[in-house]
């Protein structure tokens, strides 16, 4: 019974350790991905340094490097906490295994001593023949056999426990070494982060000499963002109004046909009113009025969390929600700004119909309808589709534009459910 309890405890401990091991592997993969992104940013930053000119791109790259560096330090901290938990659990496991081993050894020693005192074959035979009847003799014979089997099992338990104890001790040493390595990496990353922040302060100081031009550039960017958001909102509302108009027109046509059939049959029939008039339908019902639209909405919803990104390679430099700019002014982002490679193709994240293409301050905005959902792709240098065209998932629709002042290629992406912008993070697959 004691062995069974110990076995259940060990199974529980190993399951917890296995879960931590999986978490550690995930942290390592995240750390490797962050390191690759930092290497790429370092390469691009060195190119800006070689130009011997302080630019907005330098500042942007430094901000991204600092953000990734902080994320990497947080990743390392999570790894250290994870290892601390594993070390604590390993210490507990070692302690319990040592106690269990000592208990097994004590029981085994007592059993060996008992066997030694009764090792004589004569004593065993006397023990059997002293029984009252045949059944009791048989039971005593089986008892002696069970003692032998139990002794062998106890010896195996001791051997297995010793092996497990050595394994846990080795694992404990390994975790301690890994923690020591992570602590060194943490100190190194913190030192690098401090250097990058100092460099950022110097770049900001250099740029402050051209504060007027910088503010003007920021204002132009904010104006373009505001105009883009306004155009997306207006375009979606037009699509909703058009869908409602078509639903009402369809309703009137159905009523006319019903009246015509009644007249041809010389019947006085009052056309039944629909359960819900088209003008009273919700936005979602209007956009899903046709079977095709409803099916497309359902398919889009079914792919939530696994939709592809609008570019094959990139990282988010501005997420969804409220944020403060360099001047401390509060702004709201209705989607993602994704930094990608110069001239990178932009693609539709799901099948749908192109409903709008506009030129906004020299770059293009494309809106695609997916039933009751809309996706908007802005800051495109060129486009390869037309209004009314059906597109497929991952189909190229244009190329990203490059900002001449920063040298960055950034595509702005928004996702709307009828008239409401939603966070792309919930819908797109993990990068």
Residue 393: CB partners within 8 Å, gap ≥ 6? 308, 348, 349, 350, 351
> Tens digit of pLDDT for each residue in 127-164?
555 666 767 666 665 665 666 666 666 667 677 777 77
C-alpha pair distances (Å), 28 with each of 6, 78, 187, 427:
33, 10, 17, 25
How far is CA 280 from its chain centroid? 39
And the tokens for 237? 């509302």
Residue 215 confidence (pLDDT): 65
Q: Which residues contact 5 (CB under 8 A, 6 or more apart)?
A: none
Report which of 341, 343, 337, 352 is spatially closest to residue 394, judged by C-alpha positions.
352
Domains and CATH numbers, the chain: 2-208 (no CATH), 303-427 (2.70.70.10)
Q: Using CA atoms, how far apart are residues 268 and 344, in angstroms rounded to an integer?
A: 65
pLDDT at 60: 74
How far apart CA 385 and CA 381 sit, in angstroms, is: 13
Q: φ and ψ at 313, to 5 degrees?
A: -135, 135
Which stretches of the chain score pLDDT less than 70? Answer: 1-22, 41-57, 97, 101, 104, 107-108, 110-132, 134, 136-155, 157, 206-218, 266-279, 326-328, 405
Asked if 326 and 406 touch (Cβ cutoff 8 Å), the reply is no
Query: What whole-number distance in Å separates Cα of residue 337 and Cα of residue 330?
Result: 17
CA distance 327 to 218: 10
Distance CA 373, CA 353 (A): 11
Both tokens of residue 124?
């065993």
In terms of Cα–Cα distance, which of 403, 400, 408, 361 is closest to 377? Answer: 400
Radius of gyration in angstroms for the set of CA atoms belonging to the chain, rounded to a whole number = 36
pLDDT attached to residue 274 = 47
DSSP assignment of 339-368:
EE-TT-EEE-SS-EEEEEEEEETTEEEEEE
For 245-283, the pLDDT digits (tens) are 888 888 788 778 877 777 777 665 454 554 456 567 888
Q: Residue 309 — φ and ψ, nearest 5°?
A: -75, 160
What's the rounded Cα separation, in Å, for the pair 214 and 318? 19
Strand partners, 377: 366, 413
Residue 143, SS3 per DSSP: helix
0.75 surpassed by pTM:
no
DSSP state of 244: H
pLDDT value at residue 150: 61
Nearest to 63 by CA among 188, 202, 196: 196
């Amino acid at each position: 019974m004691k062995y069974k309890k110990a076995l259940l405890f060990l199974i529980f401990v190993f399951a917890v350790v296995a879960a931590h091991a999986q978490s550690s592997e995930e942290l390592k993969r995240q750390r490797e991905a962050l390191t690759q992104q930092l290497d790429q940013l370092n390469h691009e930053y060195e190119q800006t340094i070689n130009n011997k000119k302080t630019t907005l791109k330098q500042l942007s790259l430094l901000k991204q490097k600092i953000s990734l560096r902080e994320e990497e330090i947080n990743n390392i901290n999570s790894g250290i906490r994870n290892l601390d938990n594993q070390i604590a659990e390993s210490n507990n496991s070692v302690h319990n295994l040592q106690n269990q081993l000592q208990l097994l050894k004590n029981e085994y020693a007592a059993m060996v001593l008992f066997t030694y005192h009764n090792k004589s074959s004569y004593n065993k035979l006397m023990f059997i023949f002293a029984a009252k009847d045949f059944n009791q003799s048989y039971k005593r014979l089986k008892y002696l056999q069970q003692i032998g089997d139990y002794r062998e099992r106890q010896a195996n338990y001791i051997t297995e426990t010793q092996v497990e104890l050595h394994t846990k001790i080795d694992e404990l040493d390994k975790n301690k070494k890994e923690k020591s390595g992570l602590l060194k990496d943490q100190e190194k990353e913190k030192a690098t982060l401090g250097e990058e922040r100092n460099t950022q302060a110097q770049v900001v100081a250099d740029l402050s000499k051209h504060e007027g031009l910088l503010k003007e550039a920021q204002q132009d960017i904010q104006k373009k963002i505001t105009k883009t958001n306004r155009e997306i909102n207006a375009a979606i509302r037009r699509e909703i109004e058009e869908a409602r108009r078509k639903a009402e027109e369809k309703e009137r046509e159905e009523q006319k046909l019903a009246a015509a059939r009644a007249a041809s049959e010389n019947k006085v029939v009052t056309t039944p009113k629909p359960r819900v008039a088209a003008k009273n339908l919700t936005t979602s019902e209007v956009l899903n009025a046709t079977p095709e639209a409803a099916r497309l909405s359902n398919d889009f919803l079914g792919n939530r969390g696994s939709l592809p990104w609008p570019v094959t390679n990139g990282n988010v430099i501005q997420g969804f929600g409220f944020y403060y700019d360099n001047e401390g002014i509060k702004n709201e982002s209705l989607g993602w700004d994704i930094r990608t490679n110069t001239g990178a193709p932009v693609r539709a994240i799901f099948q749908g119909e192109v409903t709008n293409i506009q030129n906004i301050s020299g770059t293009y905005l494309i809106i695609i309808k997916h039933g009751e959902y809309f996706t908007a792709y802005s800051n495109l240098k060129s486009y390869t589709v037309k209004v009314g065209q059906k597109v497929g998932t991952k189909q190229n629709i244009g190329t990203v534009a490059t900002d001449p002042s920063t040298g960055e290629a950034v595509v702005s992406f928004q996702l709307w459910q009828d008239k409401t912008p939603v966070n792309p993070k919930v819908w797109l697959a993990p990068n």
